[in-house]
Structure 1
């Protein structure tokens, strides 16, 4: 089977699709990954066919956009990025389809898979990495998560979000694309239409996000993919030496979907001075960290979380689903500073599990961070709960289970 995999987003969003591609290839199929050019090396190292649908320069400019991690403004940024990428991607993907021999798999915002399915009659699979992508009228999004409102008011809220926020941004871009290729416009792209695929997969477990009554009937929840690189990938030698040279440090990351985190890392360094912790600052962008780092603080471009986090005293991060799931699997206490997207929802779920604390952007100040780290160090109940949750995460069979669902669809007439 020829399987086209379209992955939108940053490293944390694309790595699970590389994992799916590797497993599908191992089973004798022909997956082909389409993503931004910056992922070509890691995809080819995994043995996958790869086609770039966005330049490295465009990707870097997107990460540095000041509105990318602002809850409302980010949709406009993503919409413009989708439009530019789609102009390049559509003719490539359209030409790659062989009806009767092709299946398409895409991430939440890979709207193009439904265009391919409608145009060519090929089966398609939507894969959601985070539960926040599965809208439910039982809950509210982002910072409003947890607010109690009557059901009718929640439904009204979602309709206002669609009309005032989604329609002028993502909706406008999607419908320009659909009109250009002769397809009917979509009224609510983030509503039911988003999951009008032959199969919908959620790459998270039901104990993290219990199934909601209004989620798609054809949804399969498989667990966390927990893929952070090829098997055998080890820690960089300088980072391994740093870990061995002193007590367990605190690891800090603002996620791979931003290149504007200087304030975050400067505040984190100041907090470690106050709390007495050693620190690892994880970012590929050297200009995000202070020019001079004190003793006991190191910057690393990248480290596989499955090997790093079990050796850390705590993990401070943005609440991305890949980052959160790796921290759950490692059993490390978490301090989460959500900014946008699914991060508020993931943070709320981690706090509810009893394994994390949360600070808002406004409250992320050296004294507050230092106090939170001290609490994570001394809270025996939280640390015990971290170990309990880690034991329940499992051994990483989610990718194989997701591929079972994909190939079951491919086997149907």
Structure 2
């Protein structure tokens, strides 16, 4: 007997044979590699199913998107990308998030207009991430079926199990009154001025009603809500949005198009397993991080790999260390003794898949929450930026590399992910079965 997904795909295929024009999928994404790569993977998988995919992003990612066989639509400039991440390099999580919020507020209408220009009435769906609102507004103004994709669990405001949004934050055990006060303060003094206010100005221009406390409910309003992480990494809570589909980590690193640099390949085979250090693919101003990392390798007696896209952050290195711009984590991480990173969800997931111990130094965004979950899983140690000194890093690395319980927990996580596989196909199945059928029964835009 056919499954519901197979029936939906069959019906969708019959419908498209009657109408030669394929379903058009508009995907909007912004941010660093960890933010963009999952959407490239999603677009590539949907294109393989016969969908016409257009991906809207900064020109920094154009070659990557086109190598994946997708049509690319540029939003902003390469200079915008570099300027934003130079600005967010300050060791201030609040300031970093404010600057990102301002950039997204400026770009939101640009994404919206670019996507609106590519609409094919009755044949278009849109996909957007947590903080890019263009796809959700196209749903309101034009009735375009919409998918919202959450890459990390930190986006959910839960009283049952609060995500860790800062170095010090409320916990599940915190008094109920303190939880309400924390969420109210966050909405009132941060989300309202930096996200809701510019969004409501934009909504007024579109003739839409204003919104309040958008992070409580509105950012979860879509025809399909996807979470690209597994339930064992973040167990769904009873106060999470209804209808949420957890599909698993995407685990995509563009590795089929990017080979490991020959110099790095030679380095990996020339000695003992090294430790890799990455403050994030879009992070600059990390001279102190890399200097402490180099000194930590010397103290711990390990070889080191420094990953940085931006020149000038790494000085002259000893013979047992190497600097590379980028390497696919799927190919690199299994060769490591440990992986030191910032706690981005992509880096965390790839390290879990590789079964490599992690030293995490979170700075902003979802990083505190991801770090906490990795520590709870017994695969990581966390150091605050102020604690990131050569002696502390060396001590943490030595502990990670010899602790048998850490090794066992890393192996268990890797086995789980190997058994589950990447979540992209499951995400596509959700889109095919739940969104494509909506195009067969055109509907008016939601009322306001």
TM-score (ref. length: structure 1): 0.97
Q: CA deviation at 1:230?
A: 4.4
Residue 332 of structure 1: aligned partner: 356
Aligned pairs for 1:294-373 within 5 A:
294-373=318-397
CA distance in structure 1 between the aligned counterparts of 2:182 and 2:240, rounded to whole angstroms: 18
Residue 402 of structure 1: aligned partner: 427
Residue 123 of structure 1: aligned partner: 145
Any stretches of 5+ residues in structure 1 without a counterpart? none
Q: CA deviation at 1:66?
A: 4.4
Range moving further from structure 2, 59-68 or 348-357: 59-68
Aligned pairs for 1:99-248 within 5 A:
99-138=121-160, 139-140=162-163, 141-145=165-169, 147=171, 148-231=173-256, 233-248=258-273
Q: Answer whether contact 1:82 1:173 (CA < 8 A) is retained.
A: no
Any stretches of 5+ residues in structure 2 without a counterpart? 1-22, 442-448
Residue 22 of structure 1: aligned partner: 44
Aligned pairs for 1:75-90 within 5 A:
75-90=97-112
SS of corresponding position for 1:362: helix
Aligned pairs for 1:35-50 within 5 A:
35-50=57-72
CA distance in structure 2 between the aligned counterparts of 1:382 and 1:24, rounded to whole angstroms: 37
Residue 82 of structure 2: aligned partner: 60
Q: CA deviation at 1:232?
A: 6.5
Q: CA deviation at 1:218?
A: 1.4
Q: CA deviation at 1:135?
A: 2.1
CA distance in structure 2 between the aligned counterparts of 1:123 and 1:90, rounded to whole angstroms: 14
SS of corresponding position for 1:308: helix
Residue 95 of structure 1: aligned partner: 117
CA RMSD of the aligned region, Å?
1.4
SS of corresponding position for 1:64: helix
Range moving further from structure 2, 329-338 or 187-196: 187-196
SS of corresponding position for 2:386: coil
Q: Answer whether contact 1:68 1:258 (CA < 8 A) is retained.
A: no
SS of corresponding position for 2:385: coil
SS of corresponding position for 2:25: strand
CA distance in structure 1 between the aligned counterparts of 2:374 and 2:109, rounded to whole angstroms: 38
Q: Answer whether contact 2:149 2:225 (CA < 8 A) is retained.
A: yes
Q: Answer whether contact 1:171 1:187 (CA < 8 A) is retained.
A: yes
CA distance in structure 1 between the aligned counterparts of 2:89 and 2:250, rounded to whole angstroms: 29
CA distance in structure 1 between the aligned counterparts of 2:88 and 2:105, rounded to whole angstroms: 19
Residues 47, 4 of structure 1: alpha-carbon distance in 2 compared, 3 angstrom cutoff: same
Asked which structure has the greater CA Rg, the reply is 2
CA distance in structure 2 between the aligned counterparts of 1:172 and 1:293, rounded to whole angstroms: 47
Range moving further from structure 2, 120-129 or 73-82: 73-82
Q: Answer whether contact 2:109 2:134 (CA < 8 A) is retained.
A: no
SS of corresponding position for 1:286: coil
Q: How many residues align?
A: 412
Q: Answer whether contact 1:67 1:73 (CA < 8 A) is retained.
A: no
Which of 377, 401, 413 in structure 2 is aligned with 1:377?
401
CA distance in structure 1 between the aligned counterparts of 2:255 and 2:305, rounded to whole angstroms: 22
CA distance in structure 2 between the aligned counterparts of 1:135 and 1:257, rounded to whole angstroms: 27
Residues 86, 28 of structure 1: alpha-carbon distance in 2 compared, 3 angstrom cutoff: same
Residue 51 of structure 1: aligned partner: 73
